[in-house]
């Protein structure tokens, strides 16, 4: 356990820029944008007259609807950029995870330490599945808090009560825990892809990106072509399978169902009226305990097993 923690720390140190600086920059951009918003208002009327009007108008809207919108923004709209960037960070992290130390030969140092190849791979997989998402999540939550503080100060100055206006409604803790749950569920759901990236990272002699993308593309194009030759129709091919897999991943998207602004989980299962997230949790869990997931895990196991086998032999020549 101590060794695993040390290895995970190593991954963090090596990827500090991607894991920590990147979400900090996004958070910083959010905060700067929030400040710019306020300064812009101040610039055009230094009495904040129009902002005051706005706040008053907002305070008169229906608190329930306002809560829904704030909740929805907190759970899906605001963290969207974090989520997208996180997926890129994890993608490139995994692609280099078993490649970089082979390239600069520092693998010879790592292999001189009494840590097994299995443990090393576990540490890298956990970094991608847990460490990076949790860091992004923490920084998102902090960003949200800072922005809310800024707005609270402004609203107080404008003579409204920030608590009834936005702080006390739209339960942020529930939104945050849902978001974290969704991040971790996506990690599990994405295991086949993560495993594929690690496999590529483990065998690519150079340019792992090419090796990661080319084989699936070639297979899919061949499938399409053969299908077309045989039946003159286009059936399901690897593109379709991968695309569907992504579409089904348990991320929370923000959409409106039956006219209300309700955050919904994918497959369109809406949250219940009272912010009860049981439906979404059930939806996510249903995804993770599906036959699809089981097949995905089997595929991931084959990829990871092969990656490990290659890792053991990475110092052959």
Partner 1 sequence: MSNVIEARGLTKRYKGTVAVDNIDLQIPSGRIVGLIGPNGAGKTSALKAILGLATYEGELSVLGKNPGKDRAALMEDVCFIADVAVLPRWIKVWQLIELTESIHPKFSREKCLEYLTSTKITPEHKVKQLSKGMVVQLHLAIVMAIDVKLLVLDEPTLGLDILFRKKFYTNLLNDYFDEERTIIITTHQVEEIEHILSDLIFIQEGRIALDCSMEEVQESYIELIVAPDKAAAAREFKPLYERELFGRFIFLYKNASREQLKTLGELHTPSVADLFVATMSGGVA
Count Cα neighbours of 157 within 13 Å in the Cβ-side half-sphere.
13
Nearest to 260 by CA among 247, 270, 269: 270
Place of tokens 């993608």: 91
Q: Does 101 bind partner 1 (CB under 8 A)?
A: yes
Name the minimum Å distance from CB 7 to partner 1.
Answer: 7
Nearer to partner 1, 278 or 316 (CB): 316
Q: Does 259 bind partner 1 (CB under 8 A)?
A: no
Tokens of 119: 């443990």
Q: Does 39 bind partner 1 (CB under 8 A)?
A: no
CA distances from 146 to 133, 142, 183 (A): 20, 6, 22
- Laid out side by side, the sheet with 269-270 consists of 252-254, 263-265, 269-270
Q: Does 111 bind partner 1 (CB under 8 A)?
A: yes
DSSP per position, 127-169: IIIIIHHHHHHHHHHHHHHHHHHHHHHHHHHTT--HIIIIITS
Q: Does 205 bind partner 1 (CB under 8 A)?
A: no
Nearest to 148 by CA among 137, 136, 158, 156: 156
Q: Does 315 bind partner 1 (CB under 8 A)?
A: yes
Listed ranges 78-86, 100-108, 178-186, 224-232: which one lies at the site for partner 1 (CB under 8 A): 100-108
Q: Does 297 bind partner 1 (CB under 8 A)?
A: no
Q: Does 115 bind partner 1 (CB under 8 A)?
A: yes
CA dihedral angle for residue 189, residue 240, residue 95, residue 117, rounded to 10 degrees: 50
Q: What 8-state DSSP symbol labels residue 260?
A: B
Q: Does 316 bind partner 1 (CB under 8 A)?
A: yes
Q: Does 10 bind partner 1 (CB under 8 A)?
A: yes
Q: Whole-angstrom Cα distance, residue 144 to residue 141?
A: 5
Q: Whole-angstrom Cα distance, residue 58 to residue 42?
A: 19
Residue in 56, 235, 236, 313 binding partner 1, rule: CB under 8 A = 313
Task: Determine contact, residues 228/234, Cβ cutoff 8 Å.
Answer: yes
Residue in 42, 116, 257, 272 binding partner 1, rule: CB under 8 A = 116
Residue in 55, 86, 107, 121 binding partner 1, rule: CB under 8 A = 107
The footprint of partner 1 on this chain (CB under 8 A) covers a number of residues equal to: 29
Name the minimum Å distance from CB 96 to partner 1.
Answer: 12
Q: Does 95 bind partner 1 (CB under 8 A)?
A: no
Name the minimum Å distance from CB 199 to partner 1.
Answer: 20
Interaction site with partner 1 (CB under 8 A): 2-3, 5-7, 9-10, 13-14, 101, 104-117, 119, 313, 315-317
């Amino acid at each position: 356990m101590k060794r695993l923690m040390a290895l995970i720390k190593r991954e963090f140190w090596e990827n500090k820029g991607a894991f920590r600086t990147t979400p900090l920059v996004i958070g910083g951009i959010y905060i700067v944008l929030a400040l710019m918003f306020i300064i812009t208002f101040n610039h055009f009327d230094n009495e904040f007259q129009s902002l005051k009007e706005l706040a008053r108008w907002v305070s008169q809207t229906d608190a329930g609807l306002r809560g829904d919108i704030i909740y929805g923004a907190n759970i899906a709209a605001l963290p969207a950029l974090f989520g997208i960037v996180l997926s890129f960070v994890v993608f490139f992290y995994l692609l280099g995870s078993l490649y970089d130390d082979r390239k600069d030969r520092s693998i010879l140092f790592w292999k001189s330490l009494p840590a097994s190849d299995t443990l090393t791979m576990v540490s890298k997989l956990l970094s991608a599945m847990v460490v990076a998402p949790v860091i992004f999540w923490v920084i998102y939550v902090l960003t949200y808090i800072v922005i809310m503080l800024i707005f609270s100060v402004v609203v107080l100055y404008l003579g409204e009560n920030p608590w009834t206006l936005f702080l006390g409604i739209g339960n942020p803790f529930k939104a945050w825990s849902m978001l974290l749950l969704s991040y971790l569920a996506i990690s599990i759901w994405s295991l086949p892809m993560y495993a594929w990236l690690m496999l590529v990272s483990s065998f690519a002699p150079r340019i792992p990106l090419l090796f990661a993308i080319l084989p699936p593309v070639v297979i899919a194009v061949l499938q399409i072509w053969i299908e077309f030759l045989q039946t003159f129709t286009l059936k399901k091919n690897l593109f379709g399978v991968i695309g569907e897999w992504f579409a089904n991943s348990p991320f929370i998207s923000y959409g409106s169902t039956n006219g209300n602004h309700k955050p919904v989980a994918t497959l369109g299962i809406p949250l219940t009226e009272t912010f009860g997230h049981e439906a979404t949790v059930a939806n996510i869990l249903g995804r993770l305990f599906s036959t699809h997931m089981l097949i995905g895990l089997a595929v991931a196991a084959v990829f990871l097993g092969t990656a490990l086998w290659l890792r053991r032999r990475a110092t052959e020549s």
